[in-house]
Structure 1
Amino acid sequence: MIYLGLIVKDTSIEDVVTKLCPPGTLEHQKVKAIFNWVCHNIEYDLEALKNPELISTDPAEIFKRRKGVCSGYSCLFEEMCRVAGLECVQITGGCGENQIKGKSRHRWNAVRINKEWKLLDPTWAAGYVKAGYKYDEKYFLTDPKVFIEDHFPDDSKWTLLPETYQVARGA
């Protein structure tokens, strides 16, 4: 596979991350390269959406099959960040019309870049089901005030917003 001018051998997560993030790559560049790779190489698994028994959160399986639902995208992104030496977490919560606190229906990520947490959603950036499969960079390092409009984390600390903003918005 040719990706961003590089020939990326698809043998393992480690091989891809090593090619995407050579020594000396800045944290922001690593996050962008991994995010783009996940968004452009993983397909949303509509079959698993219809049959939850098929859902996998194993990064190696998602990598191998090149398919996953939001939990698969977020697990693979988190694992690739770990391999690249980046701190990354998965966030669960409501999204879109399903923004009900405590009713998790979606997963996305936060990644630490230069000691500051940033929000991103590789599933929605890759093109979630309702929007088709069209890359949308809006969900890469999105301003928390914009992100909360359609992503409501179960743990309010992952809004990355001051408590006063959350209370004013009714979060």
Structure 2
Amino acid sequence: MKKIVFFLSFLCSLLGNGQTQSIYSKIDSKMAVMPKSYATTTTGIASYINANFNTESDKVRAAFFWTATTISYDIANINTIDYNTTSEQKINATLSSHKGVCIHYAEVFNSIANQVGVKSYVVHGYTKQFGAIATVAHAWCSVKIDSKWWLMDPTWGAGYVDKQKYFRKLNAIYFKMTPSAAIATHMPFDYLWQFLSFPISNQEFISGKLEANTTKKKFDFESEILKQENALAADKIFDATVRIEKNGIKNNLIQDYWIYKKKELENIRQNETNAKFSILVTESNQAILLYNDFIGYRNKQFKPTLPDDVLLKMIQEPKEQLLKCQNQLDYLEPVNEENRTNVTAVRQNVASVLEQVKDQEKFVLDYLSKGKGARKAMFTKMKWFGIPLN
């Protein structure tokens, strides 16, 4: 009886696959004859799709079909995980060679989907087939079609590898997977991209316990995605690292990705710190230049004479700028030792100059409180038998 059930299940799968392909046969046929001139960039591919299809579903199918049937799996790099090159670099290399591994399929599809007006994201994770966890990380995509989230795997949908040989065979099963179906084989590192109200933990995925545990706190993934879309890059990555850790780091694939995201976060924060620090250095130098202008004017005994308010502004403006820089430097968080050394040096320099500026401000306020004759006397050194009296 078990053999009969398996056979019927397999037959239904084949029928479902054939029915899905027949539904989209017109779209697939149209994409199969797309002129090569469009295929040099994802922008070109997207423009062809936009010109020939109207609905979100049709456009996504067109992007999926082109990606799955045009890119060949790069068996030589089957075990390569590339987190370092940019999306643009991956896409350009793939469109040039028409070869790639999962991340290249995902990046190309994602780029096309977004450019045809469909919200799409690349999802990083790992997979399980026939009860076994894969030893290499995987990448696929999520798309929002008519307000509903679907998972797409253009790599698995393109064909399969057998005995180190790639066989192209379009598989519609991996086009528009529901979140509840996808979780059986595809586990995102970040549970946000499960699109489940009760996300599955890594331990549950590994052990095959995929039923929703409603005793958990319900997860509002829609609100969280909206939050992510409006967050700064560093905040997005920080939140992702928290979710990854919270869901359990149960294998090396998860750990490697978690470490990568933490390093990415550190780099972003370091770049942000460097950018802020550079601005503060520029602003403090500008304040010092203003202060030097004041000293030059004082050395000329405030000649030619300026209105009192202008004179006061000459010393108060650099003071205000230095105070602002000092305050922001105090809140600047260095990421590494080099940052820390540089920030400390500038803090000390700003503090030293600021003390001088404050002394000069006292002099100006005293100067402005006096009459014309007394002001002039402030620049005159009184002597008694050659000894300075002031």
Scaled by the length of structure 2, the TM-score of the pair is 0.38
Deviations 1:42-83 (A, max 9, x none): 000011225668x97511211111011001110111111122
Rounded to whole Å, the distance in 2 between the matches of 1:106 and 1:52 is 9
Deviations 1:16-54 (A, max 9, x none): 22112217611111100000000000000011225668x
Q: Pick closer, same or farther for the CA change 1:147–1:21 going to 2, 3 Å.
A: same
Q: Does 1:4 align with 2:35?
A: no
TM-superposed deviation, 1:88:
0.6
The gaps in structure 1 that reach 5 residues or longer are none
Scaled by the length of structure 1, the TM-score of the pair is 0.82
Deviations 1:65-104 (A, max 9, x none): 10110011101111111221221101111112226xxx87
Q: Which residue does 1:134 correspond to in 2?
A: 169
Q: Which amino acid aligns with 1:119?
A: L
Q: Which residue does 1:81 correspond to in 2?
A: 113
Q: Which residue does 1:67 correspond to in 2?
A: 99
The gaps in structure 2 that reach 5 residues or longer are 1-27, 213-390
Q: Which residue does 2:55 correspond to in 1?
A: 26
Preserved CA contact (<8 Å) 1:93 1:104: no
TM-superposed deviation, 1:132:
3.6
3-state secondary structure, aligned to 2:156: helix
Q: Which amino acid aligns with 2:29?
A: L
RMSD (Å) for aligned C-alpha atoms: 2.8
Q: Which residue does 2:342 correspond to in 1?
A: none
Q: Which residue does 2:45 correspond to in 1?
A: 16
Residue from 142, 145, 153 that aligns with 2:188: 153
Which shows bigger deviation, 8-17 or 82-91?
A: 8-17
Preserved CA contact (<8 Å) 1:70 1:123: yes
3-state secondary structure, aligned to 2:78: helix
Which shows bigger deviation, 155-164 or 35-44?
A: 155-164
Rounded to whole Å, the distance in 1 between the matches of 2:178 and 2:80 is 34
Flag the structure with more relative contact order, 1 or 2, with Cα contacts below 8 A and sequence separation at least 6: 1
TM-superposed deviation, 1:137:
0.3
Rounded to whole Å, the distance in 2 between the matches of 1:136 and 1:150 is 15
Q: Which residue does 1:49 correspond to in 2?
A: 78
Q: Pick closer, same or farther for the CA change 1:31–1:62 going to 2, 3 Å.
A: same
Preserved CA contact (<8 Å) 1:81 1:87: yes
Rounded to whole Å, the distance in 2 between the matches of 1:88 and 1:78 is 6
Q: Which amino acid aligns with 1:37?
A: W
- Percent identity between matched residues is 26
Q: Which amino acid aligns with 2:173?
A: K
Greater share of helix: 2
